[in-house]
């Protein structure tokens, strides 16, 4: 109940300082729906976070795209959850499929990361999603349930977690899940939370969709019963991100 619409922009490994400046000024100039109906979080690459955080209007928040699995130390190249908390960065994306696939992050490792980030006071956008092969084999629900379970097993509260369903075959491909496909998995994920955690968790946890969301397909998706927002990749670098934020009005 009371699930506030959530729109995240995952910039991935993109942007020059000039481009970042431009995106920030577009966001600062854009109109958001009135009535506090949407939470907007953008996730720039680490090096641009301080700039974006200081220049972006205060109702938009920032997220890191990853963090280390435990306390910082001798882990060359990593950024710790403590550092993010220390800089006042409220959110972190964990378990994105690109990290799972390209950096071999296992379900268990993702679960550990989510738990550690939460323990440091961060809020987490936790990503799950099946590959095309898994979908075609009919194992979508088993895959996303196992990914969600690995997180659920390690955490004691879902209060600061947003669950992002991102089918791998829809990421960066222009192939968006149909409203039926998205609603089906979102409803199943909510059912999974209901059965395996608590009814209140299922009712209050936001389940957002990611995968080729753009200014034209966002409205229809936003209308789905169990879809509480988006995690946007490519289109979050463009002015149409403002249109995606406006899709929150559909829920009013
Ligand atoms: O991976 C995504 C967001 O995290 C989605 O990326 P695209 O919107 O570019 O498909």
pLDDT tens digits, one per residue of 124-164: 999 999 999 999 999 999 999 999 999 999 999 999 999 99
pLDDT tens digits, one per residue of 171-185: 999 999 999 999 999
Q: Is the CB of 171 under 6 A from ligand 1?
A: yes
pLDDT tens digits, one per residue of 46-69: 999 999 999 999 999 999 999 999
Q: Which residue, by CA, sits nearest to atom 2 of ligand 1? A: 233
Specify the pLDDT at position 185: 98
Specify the pLDDT at position 103: 97
Q: Which residue, by CA, sits nearest to atom 3 of ligand 1? A: 233
Of 4, 14, 3, whose CA–CA distance to 236 is shortest? 14
Query: Of 42, 172, 221, which is best to mutate to test ligand 1, by the most ligand atoms within 8 angstroms of its C-beta?
Result: 172
DSSP SS3 for 137: coil
Q: Is the CB of 166 under 6 A from ligand 1?
A: yes
Q: Which of 39, 82, 96, 130 is catalytic?
A: 96
Q: Is the CB of 95 under 6 A from ligand 1?
A: no
Q: Is the CB of 107 under 6 A from ligand 1?
A: no
Q: Whole-number mean pLDDT of the chain? A: 97
Complex ipTM tops 0.85: yes
Given a cut of 80, is residue 122 above it in pLDDT? yes
**Contact between residue 66 and residue 34 where contact means Cβ atoms under 8 Å apart:** no
pLDDT tens digits, one per residue of 206-220: 999 999 999 999 999
Band of the pLDDT at 2, cuts 50, 70, 90?
confident
Q: Ligand 1: which atom is nearest the Cα of residue 236?
A: 8
Specify the pLDDT at position 201: 98
Q: Which of 39, 82, 130, 166 is catalytic?
A: 166
CA-based torsion, 81, 118, 37, 65: positive or negative: positive
pTM value is 0.98
Domains parsed from the chain with CATH numbers:
5-251 (3.20.20.70)
Query: CA angle at residue 4 from 251 to 169, to 5 degrees?
Result: 80
Given a cut of 70, is residue 107 above it in pLDDT? yes
Given a cut of 60, is residue 1 above it in pLDDT? no
Q: Can 96 be counted among the known catalytic residues?
A: yes
Structure tokens at 225: 């019963």
Q: Kindly state the average pLDDT of the residues 78-99.
A: 98
Q: Is the CB of 213 under 6 A from ligand 1?
A: yes
């Amino acid at each position: 109940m009371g699930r506030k619409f959530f729109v995240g922009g995952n910039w991935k490994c993109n942007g020059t300082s000039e481009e970042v400046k431009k995106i920030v000024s577009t966001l600062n100039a854009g109109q958001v729906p009135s009535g506090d109906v949407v939470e907007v979080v953008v996730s720039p690459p680490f090096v641009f976070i301080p700039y974006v955080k200081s220049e972006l209007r205060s109702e938009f928040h920032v997220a890191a795209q990853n963090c280390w699995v435990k306390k910082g130390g001798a882990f060359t190249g990593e950024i710790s959850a403590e550092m993010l908390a220390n800089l006042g960065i409220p959110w972190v994306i964990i378990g994105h499929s690109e990290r799972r696939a390209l950096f071999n992050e296992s379900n268990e490792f993702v679960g550990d990361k989510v738990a550690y980030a939460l323990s440091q006071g961060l809020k987490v956008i936790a990503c799950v999603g099946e590959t095309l092969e898994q979908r075609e084999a009919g194992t979508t629900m088993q895959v996303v349930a196992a990914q969600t379970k690995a997180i659920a097993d390690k955490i004691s509260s879902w209060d600061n977690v947003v669950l992002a369903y991102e089918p791998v075959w829809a990421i960066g491909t222009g192939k968006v899940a149909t409203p039926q496909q998205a609603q089906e998995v979102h409803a199943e994920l909510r059912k999974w939370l209901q059965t395996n955690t608590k009814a209140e968790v299922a009712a209050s946890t936001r389940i957002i969709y990611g995968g080729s969301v753009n200014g034209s397909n966002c409205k229809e998706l936003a209308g789905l019963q169990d879809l509480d927002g988006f995690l946007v990749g490519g289109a979050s670098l463009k002015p149409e991100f403002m249109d995606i934020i406006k899709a929150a009005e559909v829920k009013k």
